[in-house]
Amino acid sequence: MSEPCSAIPSENPFALTPLERRKKAAARRNQWIMFGFCALLIIPLVLILVDIFWKAAPVLSLDFLWQNPVNKGKEGGLWAPLVGTFYLVVGSLLFVAPVGIFAAIYLNEYAREGWVNRVIGITVTSLAGVPSIVHALFGLGAFVLGMLPAINRLLADPARPETRWEAGLLTASLTVAVMNLPVIITSTREALGAVPQSFREACWNLGATRWQTIRTIVLPNSLSGILTGIILVVSRAAGETAPILFTGATFFKFVADSGTAKLFPYGIGEPFMAMSMHLNIISNQISQMPERMKFGSAAVLITLILAINSLAIALRVWLRGRKRW
């Protein structure tokens, strides 16, 4: 107000000042540092993958997948552990998907806000952080030592020990299911929470019950997120060794080389082979194991998990592209 407007300068009024030059240099330097750390993350990953697949190349073939392991896994293929992992995943999903999804729907859509709900939420989040070996011990105590004797008292013939159920697909599936339950609950709650509240209000204001709202609007619009959560859980179930270590996975189990017995090799009360367990044993328990068998198994397990995760990403992208609000 007091000073008059200064005259228009003759030289460039927007020239870089020394301070700005230093700020610019710092900005560029920091960008390169961040890039360096990012490279630190990516480069070893790529090198490991290349190394594994390079060393696995001699054995990789469809026969490697289709044949059973021979001679403690030193020869042959991966069929028995591969099919075991498949049944483990399917079995655990049968338990975890309904329990997890319905629990999440209750927590998100029905339960009133309050301390009970918050305590449950915190508990679920904490459970997700429990190490898998702890879940394994829980599974051992609850299912192998607790549930199996009860089943055997009811179903097994005491005179014929072969009718007794052992730690196997059922107990391992339940253990993996318990491990994945908090993950499913959390991802499902997130998916449900992403459905705009205004849709629910629109339904309520037309006189819809909670269940009608969930069935007609909330579930159809959160299905993509729920499915993605399930698929990610599948890859975790396929990759973890710890939870199945004491609860049903075994090092070797004879599997028929042909016929339907090859497709359905394990009973639910029988020990089974699994990829993660197999890889663990042949990498450090058996002497003179050929390198190519170890790396071949690792390559197959990695490919399996990458494929499952890519499927989850593809599904998410596809379903996100379809919805518009």
Secondary structure (H, E, C), the chain: CCCCCCCCCCCCCCCCCHHHHHHHHHHHHHHHHHHHHHHHHHHHHHHHHHHHHHHHCCCCCHHHHHCCEECCCCEECCHHHHHHHHHHHHHHHHHHHHHHHHHHHHHHHHCCCCHHHHHHHHHHHHHHCCCHHHHHHHHHHHHHHHHHHHHHHHHCCCCCHHHCCCCCHHHHHHHHHHHHHHHHHHHHHHHHHCCCHHHHHHHHHCCCCHHHHHHHHHHHHHHHHHHHHHHHHHHHHHHCCHHHHCCCECCCCCCCCCCHHHHCCCCCCCCECCHHHHHHHHHHCCCCCCHHHHHHHHHHHHHHHHHHHHHHHHHHHHHHHHCCC
For residues 136 to 165, the per-residue mask of contacts with other proteins, x marking binding by CB under 8 A and - elsewhere, is ------------------------------
Q: How far is CA 281 from CA 148, 161, 250, 289, 298, in A?
A: 26, 28, 10, 10, 12
From 28, 153, 160, 324, residue interacting with other proteins (rule: CB under 8 A): 324
CB of 126 to other proteins, least distance (A): 24
Of 198 and 288, which CB lies nearer to other proteins in the complex structure? 198
Residue 115 interacts with other proteins (CB under 8 A): yes or no: no
The residue range among 52-60, 214-222, 231-239, 311-319 that interacts with other proteins, by the rule CB under 8 A, is 214-222
CB of 165 to other proteins, least distance (A): 45
Q: Select the residue interacting with other proteins from 88, 203, 234, 282 (CB under 8 A).
A: 203
The footprint of other proteins on residues 16-55 (CB under 8 A) is none
Which residues ranging from 219 to 248 are in contact with other proteins (CB under 8 A)? 221
Helix 275-284 and helix 291-322, axial crossing angle in degrees, nearest 10: 150
The piece of 78-86, 181-189, 204-212, 311-319 that touches other proteins (CB under 8 A) is 204-212
- Burial degree of 58 (CB within 10 A; 0-12, 13-18, 19+): middle
Select 226 or 249, whichever has its Cβ closest to other proteins.
226
Cβ–Cβ under 8 Å, residues 173 and 91: yes
Q: In this chain, which of 8, 12, 206, 284 binds other proteins, going by CB under 8 A?
A: 206
212 binds other proteins (CB under 8 A): yes
- Under rule CB under 8 A, residue 119 binds other proteins: no
Stretch near other proteins under the rule CB under 8 A, chosen from 73-81, 196-204, 250-258, 301-309: 196-204
Q: Which of 86, 199, 251, 252 binds other proteins (CB under 8 A)?
A: 199
325 is a contact residue toward other proteins (CB under 8 A):
yes
Among 2, 10, 17, 198, binds other proteins (CB under 8 A): 198
113 binds other proteins (CB under 8 A): yes
Which residue in 10, 12, 71, 205 binds other proteins (CB under 8 A)? Answer: 205
Q: According to the binding rule CB under 8 A, does residue 194 interact with other proteins?
A: no
216 or 310: CB nearest other proteins:
216
Cβ proximity of 238 and 259 under 8 Å: no
Binding part of the chain for other proteins, among 31-39, 76-84, 186-194, 215-223 by CB under 8 A, reads: 215-223
Which positions lie near other proteins, rule CB under 8 A?
112-114, 196, 198-199, 201-209, 212, 216-217, 221, 323-325
